[in-house]
């Protein structure tokens, strides 16, 4: 795909070409994207979306790339990176805020703690952006983004603005029903007032809990698989990590990818892992767990790009 930044004369942000996606993902894996655009604000985003739509270029949005596996031949079209613009948080009343999709969840959780606002304690160890967290309905320890999101603002491929309230987002376990090719620009969030010391204490406890089970210092993308639930959606089954551990797969390697020795639901990059290496381990884990337990694991990470 041949385009030059001058082709979108009104675009104010940075635009990079032939970009190694491994530099933009926590897994440190991924071939090159044709173009990466960093819109500085909503007008800029609309400009690049209309340009891509007009040319028929596919668009893919990333935040911090902490839940992504990009395939080895990269991404055709335009990757829109919201992590440089969209960084503003506006505090509305004393218990509500509008956060830009590029705001880091960890930073917002910390600000909430200082302001005595409860609701994001669970997010203390989740390394993504607000946009990625809302899209994934990120959660931990029984709490999810859906518990604090009131409304989401987004822009579509034609540059049209949309607004979705919590019900319209149809949040589910690690997902939502945001229509395809819609880019979240802002999230309206509502918190509960509480004592900052109590919030700090809860965050510390959750961080320690996380550290005890997920002390992983190698590049990874968080949980690879969703935790399975019974068909009736009620009774919890063993976690994906436990099932993989019971299948004897902890520590298993393929190339430079390894099922973590610390946590069965994490795959780590030992140095030069490829997406093919990771996907081979994903297939192996699904196969062994299905044969042993009759449970089909579904991936939580988003896998995109060309082989």
Ligand X SMILES: Cc1cc2nc3c(=O)[nH]c(=O)nc-3n(C[C@H](O)[C@H](O)[C@H](O)COP(=O)(O)OP(=O)(O)OC[C@H]3O[C@@H](n4cnc5c(N)ncnc54)[C@H](O)[C@@H]3O)c2cc1C
Number of residues near ligand X (by CB under 6 A): 30
**Nearer to ligand X by C-beta: 13 or 127?**
127
Residue of 13, 30, 65, 241 interacting with ligand X (CB under 6 A): 65
Look up tokens 């031949």; give the residue. 73
Q: Any residues with CB less than 8 A from the CB of 96 and at least 6 apart, and which? A: 150, 188, 189, 190, 191
In whole angstroms, how close is the CB of 126 to ligand X at the nearest point? 4
CA nearest neighbour of 121 among 29, 191, 37: 191
CA nearest neighbour of 173 among 146, 205, 193: 146
Residue of 30, 116, 128, 241 interacting with ligand X (CB under 6 A): 128
> What three-state secondary structure class fits 215?
coil
Look up tokens 């933009």; give the residue. 24
133 binds ligand X (CB under 6 A): yes
Where does the chain show beta strands of DSSP type E?
A: 14-20, 32-38, 59-62, 68-70, 75-81, 89-91, 96-100, 117-118, 139-140, 143-144, 149-155, 161-165, 183-190, 192-193, 253-254, 257-259, 267-269, 302-304
Residue of 48, 49, 184, 285 interacting with ligand X (CB under 6 A): 184
Which residues partner with 156 through β-bridges?
A: none
Catalytic residue among 64, 121, 174, 260: 174
List the interface residues with ligand X, window 283-302 (CB under 6 A).
302
Residue of 221, 247, 273, 285 interacting with ligand X (CB under 6 A): 221
Contacts with ligand X, 31-60, as mask; x by CB under 6 A: -----------------------------x
Residue 300 bears catalytic tag: yes
Q: How many residues would you count in the chain?
A: 307
Number of H helices, E strands in the chain: 7, 18
Greatest pairwise CA separation for the chain in angstroms: 58
Stretch that binds ligand X, among 31-39, 138-146, 158-166, 188-196 (CB under 6 A): 138-146
264 binds ligand X (CB under 6 A): no
**Nearer to ligand X by C-beta: 140 or 276?**
140
Residue of 48, 59, 61, 78 interacting with ligand X (CB under 6 A): 61
Residue of 82, 109, 155, 169 interacting with ligand X (CB under 6 A): 82
The binding site for ligand X (CB under 6 A) comprises: 26, 60-68, 82, 101, 126-129, 131-133, 135-136, 138-140, 183-184, 220-222, 302
List, by residue number, the catalytic residues: 174, 223, 300
């Amino acid at each position: 795909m041949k385009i030059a930044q001058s082709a979108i004369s009104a675009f104010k942000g940075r635009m990079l070409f032939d970009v190694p996606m491994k530099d933009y993902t926590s897994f440190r894996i991924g071939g090159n994207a044709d173009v990466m655009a960093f819109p500085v604000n909503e007008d800029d985003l609309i400009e690049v979306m209309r340009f891509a739509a007009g040319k028929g270029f596919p668009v893919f949005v990333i935040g911090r790339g902490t839940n992504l596996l990009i395939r080895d031949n990269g991404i055709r079209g335009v990757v829109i990176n919201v992590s440089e613009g969209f960084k503003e948080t506006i505090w509305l009343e004393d218990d509500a805020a509008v956060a830009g999709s590029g705001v880091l969840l960890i930073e917002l959780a910390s600000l909430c703690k200082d302001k005595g606002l409860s609701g994001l304690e669970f997010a203390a160890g989740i390394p993504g952006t607000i946009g990625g967290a809302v899209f994934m309905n990120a959660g931990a320890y029984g709490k999810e983004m859906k518990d604090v999101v009131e409304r989401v603002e987004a822009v579509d491929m034609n540059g049209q603005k949309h607004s979705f309230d919590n019900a319209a987002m149809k949040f589910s376990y690690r997902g939502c029903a945001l229509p395809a090719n819609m880019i979240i620009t802002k999230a309206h969030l509502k918190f509960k007032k509480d004592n900052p010391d109590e919030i700090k204490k809860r965050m510390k406890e959750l961080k320690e809990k996380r550290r005890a089970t997920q002390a992983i210092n190698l590049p990874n993308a968080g949980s690879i698989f969703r935790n399975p639930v019974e068909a009736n959606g009620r009774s919890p089954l063993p976690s994906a990590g436990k099932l993989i551990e019971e299948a004897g797969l902890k520590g298993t390697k393929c190339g430079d990818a390894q099922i973590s020795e610390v946590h069965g639901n994490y795959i780590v990059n030992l140095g030069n892992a490829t997406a093919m290496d990771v996907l081979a381990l994903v297939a192996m884990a699904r196969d062994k767990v299905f044969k042993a337990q009759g449970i089909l694991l579904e991936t939580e990470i988003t896998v995109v790009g060309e082989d």
